[in-house]
Structure 1
């Protein structure tokens, strides 16, 4: 992604001029007062998890949350009258979509396995059709012969003969297993196979009428990806283009600008050359499925996501993330004009597009820059914007800490971007206690906007550093590849280099720093007190990896193969060539616990199917054997993503307790 970074010297000058470098005017950590929201306000689930306009724009559907209980609520946009409400209980809601004007699809997930057909314990997704007229709910794929009621990939709504239709892939069991595409009977939930597919078909594109017009096939053992396009008779598919790619496969990204085109993100140096290619080597192409002709899409940058017309599903725009938030580029004139007016009206807020009606004259937007999250609906017919809901109503705007984009140099000169969140009310920081909060992934990135975890820590008086260390996404292929083989090495020192830079600016006290993180961030927290020692007074690791070799071996057992795309991915990032490589032990905190120089708190969900809880138990045992101070807290019923408010609140409370003991604010 192209980015216009401020260089480190210029950024340092900005902070000095704003008073951050110190002097008598600098602000130290503020006291927690009666005005400070409780930690439970940050750990709670947002009051609205999903919100969508109906096709006509006359109705608004939302998932409301009270404690752990969720409900579907449908209201009349014009009158505000509640038209429908149904409890869906203590469940994890992942998506909400209108199916026409009278039905809604709710996608939920559960942590479970299906041993009889060889599905290990994982996160399984389910679809629920809510019929507003009959006031009943049916499960997607229910009572479909030889098919389990689990979604295999995303559900898609299309218009067929003026009616809404729902398509999902399902898992068939029996003598011949398959993963066909099914059209769902909206009354019963039963599925009818409309396109045969096997498990080598990893992706597909549906046109506006529900016809498959492209498929992506991946033979994992060979690492070969193939684009499949329709033959002339449109009743079967042919191989159009193939590439050997053991790890990074091309992506099918939906329909193009016309009905017989698709969008694909791929490396095609034979077509792209250097002009028009993105920083990460991928280019967005539009491919004509009938002729096989490839051409570049006319976006100024390489987008992170596509925007489609709500009726035709044709491509009309795209979006990407920059330092100040999400940016949009529309290639359809009417939507471009309307979005430009929204950005003018919400200048400085970086609004995000959530939903719009079929006519695109009503748009739900979300803002969370300088606030805890606000949903509004913009009605172009009335020329008015109305507030719909607050994401975190218990956290007022004046209790949201300011977020600053920063950039500093790593020890080897690489520029490391990131974000610094200040305690609420602090504008000229000086000598603050610091929490380093590295993101998970590690192929991910932190962005600006309200982050419940960093804001919770800031509310207790800590500055919070979120570095986008080498190996993060969003900054080009070279930046991500710079992280390969750097677990516990430069990816780790990128974090402590940020601490040293903030100390040089006078922003933080280098003797009052702890590190907290989840998933890969949890590994980084453990490595901070066992590998890159001397920088942190304490560490909190949530769902972290402690024994890399043990983790990769576990992943291989989960997939029942050693030569899978997943294992190849981990080997590349961790810097080894084979399974069970003992070289990983030197990078594993569990093997280095005897040298730990600070207390460690471990928190892990018992239902974690991404990083097994064994990883935290192994680390706790190693620390105890070495006589090092450690605690292990296990969260019952929690997954890898801290999806439940009760356990998320417990994690926050235990983290802050631990920080206040080992790194008090005052």
Structure 2
């Protein structure tokens, strides 16, 4: 049989009835290890106390997670809490609450058993399919003493154990309380919880599907986010002048999850009744940040904007929690500050760490005294630095992945090209270590992103960075239909799966051949999710351009995918189904077009080696999309390889590092078999 179920102990790839084991890297060539790119980081969730003396974080060792605290004055480091992997426990975050208390999250993964109260009717967005997660929030002193659970729904209200409470706002100006979202029989509640006693009081009552609140300058809820369509859609509501909740916007399916949504609440406004939001009012194309009056529904003032890129996030002062900058992903991550001095400091820090890197503000500290930044780049998987404002000293603290060797990691550039219709396009080009812009005729992987209303970023992802570290040039095009550059760009890709989107991707590949960068006889295409769809489609539609295809969690049949969305997500009138009918095409009116660009309907035309990869527990693109493609290939007597991973869903998560390592290893072997080994410096 063709379908091989792969447990965590080993990875097997099947071709016809023959099974072979994925091999290692090519001999005698030093290459970066897979652990540099996937799985748990050695150190994560780093934060600094407001006075700058202590640093907390989560250390990963062979037994699981350890919450640690480091005293910068004495140089001592000590463990506070442990979460053992053999008990399916994981620490999810840690942060300081003042200088003397820690807040941290503990999560446990457990198998869903029919009748246990955690079955499919109770599934939430983070459900794994066959597993669920119990999350709890705790507070303790820095030495682990005075440990208390902050509102456990199972204990407080006798709810099922899988119902969780989560922090909504840390309330930096209040030393004793945080705000938490908690379930109740009447809907989700916003509670103020005492971090020293665990006592709480209710501030706001939401609906059964309320997900989050946004506060105003007086810490009163003025915006609310609800889940709709079984968790596949989102609605935003505002509290009007009479204290009633009014719906502002509703998003269908992936339109809220991938592309920049029409409206999103981000943080406190400058006066009562207001909030900072990312939005596109008055037919604006790109998202900008505004001061929004929730009582009237008016956009009072534009705060941060860019005419090319969506501005989607904010930086908050770690002491006051006030919004101090608007941020967005251009080619790199950029922040725009209100205060010219803060902007100059940010620019100086960016220059100090090198133009090849990006910087992010780490949790905690004091921007007027001492704070931390996280530095990320193609050759830097993540390093924390401490900046002293008074002495103007920037000092290295620790790396997130201690085994990373920059000499074995790739570099990156922006590659510009022109589409068939004359539209100017661009993409990221990740370059193997030792290669330069002048290196010619390299083996290449074209890697379109998922979504399609997603986008790639400068620091890269495990696939692009790992494959480039193995000697392959990796091209990630910003094609029409992708997010981050305005709504018109997104909607230009609607109804164009396999057509304009495919052309934009292919034209970039051809431009790199014409520029002499890529060897035309050594190019494969690969992708995950929507990128997997593109790879599936290329396997029969673009046989002149690519020598092999790796389709990960991809859609092979557009009409059957829409049938699944209709059946699983609320019928033909559901928001998800309507969104996909607009974005892909109507399964009835556009039947012929959808079948023309579906690999499952064209299996007999597949004309290149094909590796199919899917997680068995995928609830975003069901594994049946890959299994039906395999069945059609069998019927057409076309060879292929397939890899089905047990206990894996659709997403890149650290607790699925083993599975992702298997994927990277197997795909690298697949590329070596079909386009040869990666480039190496002579």
Whether 1:630 and 2:645 are equivalent positions in the alignment is no
Q: How does 1:516-555 map to 2 (within 5 A)?
A: 516-555=526-565
Whether 1:69 and 2:64 are equivalent positions in the alignment is yes
In the alignment, the residues of structure 2 paired with residue 117 and residue 626 of structure 1 have an alpha-carbon distance, to the nearest angstrom, of: 37
In the alignment, the residues of structure 2 paired with residue 160 and residue 506 of structure 1 have an alpha-carbon distance, to the nearest angstrom, of: 55
In the alignment, the residues of structure 2 paired with residue 589 and residue 94 of structure 1 have an alpha-carbon distance, to the nearest angstrom, of: 39
Q: Secondary structure at the match of 1:529?
A: helix
Instruction: Give the number of equivalent residue pairs.
Output: 620
Gap change, CA 1:120 and 1:106, over 3 Å in 2: closer
In the alignment, the residues of structure 2 paired with residue 627 and residue 111 of structure 1 have an alpha-carbon distance, to the nearest angstrom, of: 41
Tell me if the contact between 1:515 and 1:539 (Cα under 8 Å) persists in the aligned partners.
yes
Match of 2:152 among 122, 141, 146: 141
Unmatched runs of 5 consecutive residues or more in structure 2: 1-24, 128-132, 256-260
Counterpart position of 2:205: 196
Tell me if the contact between 2:51 and 2:365 (Cα under 8 Å) persists in the aligned partners.
yes
Counterpart position of 1:429: 439
Counterpart position of 1:285: 290
Counterpart position of 2:317: 309
Whether 1:119 and 2:119 are equivalent positions in the alignment is no
The worse-fitting range, judged by mean Cα deviation, of 342-351 and 625-634 is 342-351
Counterpart position of 2:350: 343
Q: Secondary structure at the match of 1:128?
A: strand
State the TM-score, normalized to the length of structure 2: 0.82
Match of 1:330 among 334, 337, 342: 337
In the alignment, the residues of structure 2 paired with residue 646 and residue 88 of structure 1 have an alpha-carbon distance, to the nearest angstrom, of: 19
Q: Secondary structure at the match of 1:560?
A: coil
The worse-fitting range, judged by mean Cα deviation, of 459-468 and 564-573 is 564-573
In the alignment, the residues of structure 2 paired with residue 93 and residue 485 of structure 1 have an alpha-carbon distance, to the nearest angstrom, of: 42
State the TM-score, normalized to the length of structure 1: 0.84
In the alignment, the residues of structure 2 paired with residue 430 and residue 556 of structure 1 have an alpha-carbon distance, to the nearest angstrom, of: 48
Counterpart position of 1:589: 599
Unmatched runs of 5 consecutive residues or more in structure 1: 1-29
Match of 1:354 among 347, 357, 362: 362
Quote how far apart the aligned CAs of 1:551 are. 2.5
Tell me if the contact between 1:260 and 1:288 (Cα under 8 Å) persists in the aligned partners.
yes
In the alignment, the residues of structure 2 paired with residue 122 and residue 227 of structure 1 have an alpha-carbon distance, to the nearest angstrom, of: 20
Counterpart position of 1:297: 302
Deviations 1:457-490 (A, max 9, x none): 1222211111111111122222111111111111
Whether 1:263 and 2:276 are equivalent positions in the alignment is yes
In the alignment, the residues of structure 1 paired with residue 667 and residue 188 of structure 2 have an alpha-carbon distance, to the nearest angstrom, of: 43
In the alignment, the residues of structure 1 paired with residue 463 and residue 444 of structure 2 have an alpha-carbon distance, to the nearest angstrom, of: 14
Gap change, CA 1:501 and 1:359, over 3 Å in 2: closer
The worse-fitting range, judged by mean Cα deviation, of 314-323 and 157-166 is 157-166
Q: Secondary structure at the match of 1:198?
A: coil
Tell me if the contact between 1:32 and 1:461 (Cα under 8 Å) persists in the aligned partners.
no
Tell me if the contact between 1:407 and 1:415 (Cα under 8 Å) persists in the aligned partners.
yes
In the alignment, the residues of structure 2 paired with residue 57 and residue 150 of structure 1 have an alpha-carbon distance, to the nearest angstrom, of: 36
Tell me if the contact between 1:207 and 1:313 (Cα under 8 Å) persists in the aligned partners.
no
Whether 1:165 and 2:164 are equivalent positions in the alignment is no
Quote how far apart the aligned CAs of 1:253 are. 1.9
Q: Secondary structure at the match of 2:479?
A: coil
Quote how far apart the aligned CAs of 1:249 are. 4.6
Tell me if the contact between 1:150 and 1:171 (Cα under 8 Å) persists in the aligned partners.
no
Give the RMSD, CA atoms, in angstroms. 3.3
The worse-fitting range, judged by mean Cα deviation, of 212-221 and 195-204 is 212-221
The worse-fitting range, judged by mean Cα deviation, of 478-487 and 601-610 is 601-610
In the alignment, the residues of structure 2 paired with residue 81 and residue 485 of structure 1 have an alpha-carbon distance, to the nearest angstrom, of: 59
In the alignment, the residues of structure 2 paired with residue 401 and residue 601 of structure 1 have an alpha-carbon distance, to the nearest angstrom, of: 25
The worse-fitting range, judged by mean Cα deviation, of 51-60 and 588-597 is 51-60
Q: Secondary structure at the match of 1:310?
A: coil
In the alignment, the residues of structure 1 paired with residue 428 and residue 643 of structure 2 have an alpha-carbon distance, to the nearest angstrom, of: 29
Quote how far apart the aligned CAs of 1:224 are. 11
Whether 1:408 and 2:389 are equivalent positions in the alignment is no
Quote how far apart the aligned CAs of 1:168 are. 3.1
Quote how far apart the aligned CAs of 1:217 are. 6.6
Match of 1:98 among 93, 96, 99: 96
In the alignment, the residues of structure 2 paired with residue 351 and residue 224 of structure 1 have an alpha-carbon distance, to the nearest angstrom, of: 30
Tell me if the contact between 1:231 and 1:238 (Cα under 8 Å) persists in the aligned partners.
no
Q: How does 1:409-488 map to 2 (within 5 A)?
A: 409-427=418-436, 428-488=438-498
Quote how far apart the aligned CAs of 1:140 are. 5.0
Deviations 1:142-170 (A, max 9, x none): 41315455678963233388324333334
In the alignment, the residues of structure 1 paired with residue 432 and residue 301 of structure 2 have an alpha-carbon distance, to the nearest angstrom, of: 45
In the alignment, the residues of structure 1 paired with residue 454 and residue 229 of structure 2 have an alpha-carbon distance, to the nearest angstrom, of: 23
Quote how far apart the aligned CAs of 1:68 are. 7.9
Quote how far apart the aligned CAs of 1:582 are. 7.2
Quote how far apart the aligned CAs of 1:514 are. 0.8
In the alignment, the residues of structure 2 paired with residue 43 and residue 283 of structure 1 have an alpha-carbon distance, to the nearest angstrom, of: 33
Deviations 1:524-566 (A, max 9, x none): 1111102333222111122222222322332333333432222
Match of 1:52 among 41, 47, 53: 47
Gap change, CA 1:38 and 1:58, over 3 Å in 2: same
In the alignment, the residues of structure 2 paired with residue 444 and residue 211 of structure 1 have an alpha-carbon distance, to the nearest angstrom, of: 33
Q: Secondary structure at the match of 1:368?
A: strand
Q: Secondary structure at the match of 2:303?
A: coil
In the alignment, the residues of structure 2 paired with residue 219 and residue 538 of structure 1 have an alpha-carbon distance, to the nearest angstrom, of: 40
In the alignment, the residues of structure 1 paired with residue 152 and residue 575 of structure 2 have an alpha-carbon distance, to the nearest angstrom, of: 29
Q: Secondary structure at the match of 2:583?
A: helix
Whether 1:318 and 2:345 are equivalent positions in the alignment is no
Q: How does 1:610-621 map to 2 (within 5 A)?
A: 610-621=620-631
Gap change, CA 1:514 and 1:340, over 3 Å in 2: closer
Whether 1:129 and 2:138 are equivalent positions in the alignment is yes
Deviations 1:111-151 (A, max 9, x none): 87655582347524623325234264637534131545567
Quote how far apart the aligned CAs of 1:409 are. 1.4
